[in-house]
């Protein structure tokens, strides 16, 4: 007999989050860490199918807002990198360089694609009629991460989407930044059920080559913040470096204004796993689960054929309704099947045996509530409605978790207490411009935390003095620990 620790999780989420997370990835068959290169992991079918569903929802949202898909090469010539000084300075330490081929430019595996895509933009944009240009690609990116790696959270390869947009005016570009924040809200929050803080980063923590950066901070169960989709208003330095110009309606030649936006799908999956999972395993939102309803036949030798025949009809009916459904017809015992699909986080389980078929009902198990209820076979269409309710519950629970973790602080002792309790401090601060860098250093040295920034989608008024230097505060900042 299999030991319980081998079947399920050996630790509780709130007692040892790190081990809980590692066990879930392994036992729910999301990833396999045994690939023998540091920072690179194998994503197994269950993880890959979930990621694919997440990609589809994100790409649908982007395309609805006028973005078009494209694919660019994974290699970038070193000469491209050198065209924008601040960008190459910011990324050069993280670049994987390929061994140079004699007579050819040295090539990098892309850490991000500005210097690949913008060379082509200079060829494609000629007139104001070519604007706005809104393109994105689904891509793997590679960064030589020197800190300790964690699968999906901090890795040397991750799966993401990056959109790169060009506009005629700065105002249009800034409007795109706000649209990107809205896209994060519509997809990551409303569909994946991951609440976030859109943080306008301090001057010292913005993207290399950006005028400013707005990044989405998500709190993990261990009290650490993880950066999710970020959007950047780029300086015109990229346009000037790559000669991306257009003629306006009067025939005057001007440089474009640019933005870029990057949802890292594999990293968002880490937040989905961590936010919604429990001590029995994953809980995947109905919207992204590879299987939304798993059917478990319960039979003996005498009624096996009849039961399987009827369950095939039920499965076909669910598929016709657009519900991702599958039959577990393995040789495992029913209890083992229940455990397996609870561990994988499937929202609904339908148990069908002779009793259910006779009464034309099904036993429905709801994963997040861990309860059973009766469902008539004639009411299979209600699964979609139940799926929406399932996701709404996950969302409300996640939002309450986030809300309870943001605490107002007026003094350094408040700050120390809040951070020790694994929460986020909201406090008055002198400035997120370069003038505030010294106070940010104090936060880092004394509290081992970071000034994450100010809200990027609305203005919060500071009242009082900076929590660190006691000078008049200009900003309301959020401070927390991060990966």
Task: Give the burial class of 422: count Cβ atoms within 10 A of its Cβ; 0-12 exposed, 13-18 middle, 19 or more buried.
Answer: middle
pLDDT at 5 over 60: no
pLDDT at 150 over 80: yes
Q: What is the pLDDT of residues 223-235, one digit of tens each?
A: 999 999 999 999 8
Indicate the SS3 state at residue 181.
helix
27 Cβ contact partners less than 8 Å away, ≥ 6 residues apart: 8, 9, 281, 343
Provide the strand spans (E) within 354-429: 361-366, 371-376, 406-409, 424-429
Q: Which two tokens stand for residue 420?
A: 């020790």
pLDDT (mean) for 354-360: 87
Model pLDDT, residue 218: 98
pTM for the full model?
A: 0.95
CA dihedral 397, 327, 281, 336 (to 10 degrees): 140
Computed over every residue of the chain, the mean pLDDT equals 94
- Asked if residue 31 lies in contact with residue 269, where contact means CB atoms within 8 angstroms, the answer is no
Positive or negative, the CA dihedral 310, 315, 321, 323 is: positive
pLDDT at 1 over 60: no
213 Cβ contact partners less than 8 Å away, ≥ 6 residues apart: 200, 201, 205, 206, 207, 230, 231, 232
Closest to 94 measured CA to CA, from 36, 142, 151 = 142
pLDDT (mean) for 126-146: 94
Q: How far apart are CA 137 and CA 157, in angstroms?
A: 16
Q: What number of CA atoms fall less than 13 Å from residue 218's CA on the CB side?
A: 30
pLDDT at 4 over 80: no
CA distances from 25 to 6, 8, 255, 277, 337 (A): 14, 12, 47, 11, 18
Closest to 479 measured CA to CA, from 457, 185, 442, 469 = 442
**For residue 478, what are the β-bridge partners?**
426, 453
Closest to 299 measured CA to CA, from 327, 320, 323 = 327
Question: Which DSSP category does 127 fall into?
Answer: B
Q: Which domains does the chain carry?
A: 4-276 (3.30.930.10), 293-401 (3.40.50.800), 406-482 (3.30.110.30)
Instruction: State yes or no: cis peptide before 11, omega within 30 of 0.
Output: no
Closest to 229 measured CA to CA, from 145, 175, 140, 161 = 161
pLDDT bucket at 11, cuts 50 / 70 / 90: very high
Q: Which two tokens stand for residue 62?
A: 């982007």
Provide the strand spans (E) within 341-423: 348-352, 361-366, 371-376, 406-409
pLDDT bucket at 349, cuts 50 / 70 / 90: very high
Q: What is the pLDDT of residues 320-340, one digit of tens each?
A: 999 999 999 998 999 999 999
pLDDT bucket at 88, cuts 50 / 70 / 90: low
- Asked if residue 20 lies in contact with residue 9, where contact means CB atoms within 8 angstroms, the answer is yes
pLDDT bucket at 356, cuts 50 / 70 / 90: confident
Q: What is the pLDDT of residues 207-250, one digit of tens each?
A: 888 999 999 999 999 999 999 999 999 989 899 999 999 999 99
Question: Among 41-45, 153-157, 387-391, 421-425, whose mean pLDDT is lowest?
Answer: 153-157
pLDDT at 409 over 60: yes
pLDDT at 38 over 80: yes
Q: What is the pLDDT of residues 255-296, one digit of tens each?
A: 999 999 999 999 999 999 999 999 999 999 999 999 999 999
**For residue 164, what are the β-bridge partners?**
135, 260
pLDDT at 149 over 90: no
Model pLDDT, residue 335: 93
């Amino acid at each position: 007999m299999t030991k319980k620790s081998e079947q399920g999780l050996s630790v509780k989420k709130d007692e040892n989050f790190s081990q809980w997370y590692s066990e879930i990835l392994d036992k729910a068959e999301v990833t396999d860490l045994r690939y023998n290169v540091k920072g690179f992991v194998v994503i197994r079918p269950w993880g890959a199918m979930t990621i694919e569903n997440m990609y589809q929802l994100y790409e649908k949202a982007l395309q609805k807002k006028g973005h078009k898909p494209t694919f660019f090469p994974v290699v970038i010539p070193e000469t491209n990198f050198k065209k924008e000084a601040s960008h190459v300075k910011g990324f050069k330490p993280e670049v994987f360089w390929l061994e140079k081929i004699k007579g050819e430019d040295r090539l990098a595996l892309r850490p991000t694609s500005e210097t690949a895509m913008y060379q082509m933009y200079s060829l494609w944009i000629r007139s104001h009629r070519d604007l706005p240009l809104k393109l994105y690609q689904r891509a793997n990116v590679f960064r030589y991460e020197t800190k300790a790696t964690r699968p999906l959270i901090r890795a040397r390869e991750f799966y993401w989407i990056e959109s790169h947009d060009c506009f005629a005016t700065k105002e249009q570009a800034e409007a795109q930044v706000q649209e990107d924040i809205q896209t994060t809200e519509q997809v990551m929050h409303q569909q994946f059920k991951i609440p976030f803080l859109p943080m306008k980063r301090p001057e010292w923590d913005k993207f290399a080559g950006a005028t400013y950066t707005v990044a989405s901070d998500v709190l993990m169960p261990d009290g650490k913040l993880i950066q999710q989709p970020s959007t950047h208003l780029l300086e015109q330095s990229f346009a000037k470096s790559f000669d991306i110009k257009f003629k306006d309606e009067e025939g005057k030649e001007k440089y474009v204004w640019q933005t870029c936006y990057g949802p890292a799908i594999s990293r968002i999956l880490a937040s989905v796993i961590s936010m919604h999972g429990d001590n029995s395993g994953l809980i995947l939102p109905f919207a992204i689960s590879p299987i939304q309803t798993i059917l478990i036949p319960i039979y003996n030798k005498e009624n096996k054929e009849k039961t399987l025949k009827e369950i095939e009809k039920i499965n076909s009916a669910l598929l016709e309704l657009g519900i991702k459904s599958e039959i577990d017809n393995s040789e495992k015992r029913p209890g083992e099947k229940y455990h397996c699909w609870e561990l994988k986080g499937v929202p609904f389980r339908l148990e069908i045996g002779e009793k259910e078929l006779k009464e034309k009902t099904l036993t429905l198990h709801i994963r997040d509530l861990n309860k059973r209820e009766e469902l008539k076979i004639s009411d299979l269409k209600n699964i979609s409605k139940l799926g929406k309710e399932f996701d709404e519950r996950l969302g409300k629970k996640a939002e309450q978790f986030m809300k309870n973790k943001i605490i107002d602080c007026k003094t350094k002792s408040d700050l120390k207490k809040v951070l020790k309790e694994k929460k986020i401090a909201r406090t008055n601060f002198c400035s997120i411009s370069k003038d505030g860098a010294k106070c940010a250093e104090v936060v880092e040295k004394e509290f081992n935390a970071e000034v994450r920034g100010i809200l990027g989608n609305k203005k919060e008024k500071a009242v009082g003095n900076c929590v660190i230097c006691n000078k008049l505060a200009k900003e309301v900042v959020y401070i927390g620990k991060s990966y």
